[in-house]
A and B are shown apart, each in its own frame.
Chain A
Amino acid sequence: MSLSSKIKEVILCLNAGRVTLPYPFEVKPVPERFRGRPIFNAEKCIGCAGCANNCPAREILVFDPCQEVRIIKYIGRRCTYCGRCADVCPEGAITMSKEFENSTGNIQDIQQTLEIFMGTCQRCGRCYSGQGPLEALMMKGYRFDNMDKDRWVYQSEAYLDKEPAVKDIDLELD
């Protein structure tokens, strides 16, 4: 190797300067689309357990200790941070944070436990669902007499003002 190439190499190395990040003392922000640890929000959660059904690693467990309380437990040991739980959550209660510094000496440190109050029906004591997807879309009824009146099928008051149906039944009974 000639002397000139050596000199060139030295100049290259000097020009490069310092490339090493001073990492544990100064933190560089992560990329925008990075998915870190999922963070659960107990206020928004409705306890549908869709995250538990969709988790490919089966790391979100659901316990029902009594009728009105549901416990959702994120263990996070084999979580691959795929973000499916955040995608499927209808209320947006799970957000993929940008926390990646999760290393611990005790694996139970990354657990998250949610205790959710499940609203129950006063009569039967079961949990009831809220507005379903069809009701959220405000689907119009399929009955031909509803088309022009612009009424929604599931609203029972829609039949009360003119009450044709009730009269029909009465006539038949007579």
Chain B
Amino acid sequence: MLKNLCKKMFPRSLWVYHANSGGCNGCDIEVLNVLTPYYDAERFGIKLVGSPRHADVMLCQGPASRATAKALKRAYEAMPAPKLVFAIGSCACGGGIWYDTYNVIGPVEKVIPVSYYIPGCPPRPEAILYGVAVALGLVDKKVSPVQLKQVELPIPNYHPEDLIGKGEMVVYKKMDHV
């Protein structure tokens, strides 16, 4: 009975492990800010734990660098099976400003599978909470891909044989080769 009551009281409470693989500590500070009373993340059952073996969620900050990629993968493999990975910040989402330097492999999704992305440099504590709320299903996500056009393709003067219809859109066939 107590077990059922606990299940009702704390539905899907997430224990998070905080992994930094070469970031600048900006996102770390924002993550710690989420756990303060002001943005109390323990309302949602979020608790910071010290070991990946106890965790359900890994919060990744910083790009996967050449030195830390192996450790990141080991930490991911140590987590028990239903696991989520949050990429927090521009570095973890896309590799950061220094994405093309010799010691940066790229975004963390090149090493471990990422389930939720929270872009921002650093993201606000509210944005991190919003990402967690999206993962828990409390709110809906707001962004969607945008495509804006000034004129309608095709323009028949130029290579009309390369324009192919794809549903409602008209796609230029050679666009990927340009």
Interface residues of A (CB under 8 A from B): 19-21, 23-24, 27-28, 30, 37, 40-43, 45, 56-57, 59, 63-69, 71, 75-82, 99-117
- Ordered by A's residue number, 17 sampled pairs between the chains whose C-beta atoms are within 8 Å are A20-B39, A20-B43, A24-B138, A63-B175, A66-B155, A66-B158, A77-B90, A78-B95, A100-B124, A102-B127, A107-B94, A109-B141, A109-B143, A109-B144, A109-B145, A112-B147, A115-B153
Residue of A nearest to B88 (CB): A103
Contact of A23 among B90, B120, B121, B129 (CB under 8 A): B129
A69 CA / B175 CA spacing, docked (Å): 11
> Are B150 and A43 interface neighbours, CB within 8 A?
yes
B52 interfacial by beta-carbon distance below 8 Å: no
* Residues of A close to B130: CB separation below 8 A: 23-24, 100-101, 103
How would you classify the secondary structure of chain B's contact residues: helix, strand, loop or mixed?
Answer: loop
Asked if A105 and B158 sit within 8 Å, CB to CB, the answer is: no
Known: A21-B39, A24-B129, A69-B153. A102 touches B118 (CB 8 A): yes
Asked if B174 lies at the interface with its beta carbon under 8 angstroms from chain A, I say: yes
Enumerate chain B residues within 8 angstroms of A21, measured Cβ to Cβ: 38-39
Chain A residues whose C-beta falls within 8 Å of the C-beta of B37 in the assembled complex: 19-20
Question: Is B77 in contact with chain A by the CB < 8 A criterion?
Answer: no
- Which of B90, B116, B127, B158 contacts A78, CB < 8 Å? B90
Name the interface residues of B133-148: CB closer than 8 Å to any CB of A.
133-134, 138-139, 141-148
By a beta-carbon cutoff of 8 Å, the part of chain B in contact with chain A is 37-40, 43, 90-91, 93-97, 99, 107, 115-121, 123-124, 126-131, 133-134, 138-139, 141-151, 153, 155, 157-159, 172, 174-175, 178
Closest 4 CB pairs of A and B: A77-B94, A78-B94, A103-B131, A42-B148
Instruction: Note all chain A residues with C-beta closer than 8 A to B115.
Output: 105
Give every chain B residue within 8 A of A40 (Cβ-Cβ). Answer: 146, 148
Contact B90 A24 (CB under 8 A): no
Contact B93 A80 (CB under 8 A): no
Q: CA of A43 to CA of B151 in the docked complex: distance in angstroms?
A: 10
Chain A proximity of B55: nearest CB distance (Å):
19
Q: Is B145 touching A112 in the complex (CB atoms < 8 A)?
A: yes
A110-B126 in contact (CB<8A): no
A20 to B174, CA, bound (A): 54
A77 touches B93 (CB 8 A): yes
| Residues of B close to A109: CB separation below 8 A | 141, 143-145
Give A111's nearest chain B residue, CB to CB.
B145
Q: Are A110 and B119 in contact (CB under 8 A)?
A: yes
Is the Cβ of B39 less than 8 Å from the Cβ of A76?
A: no
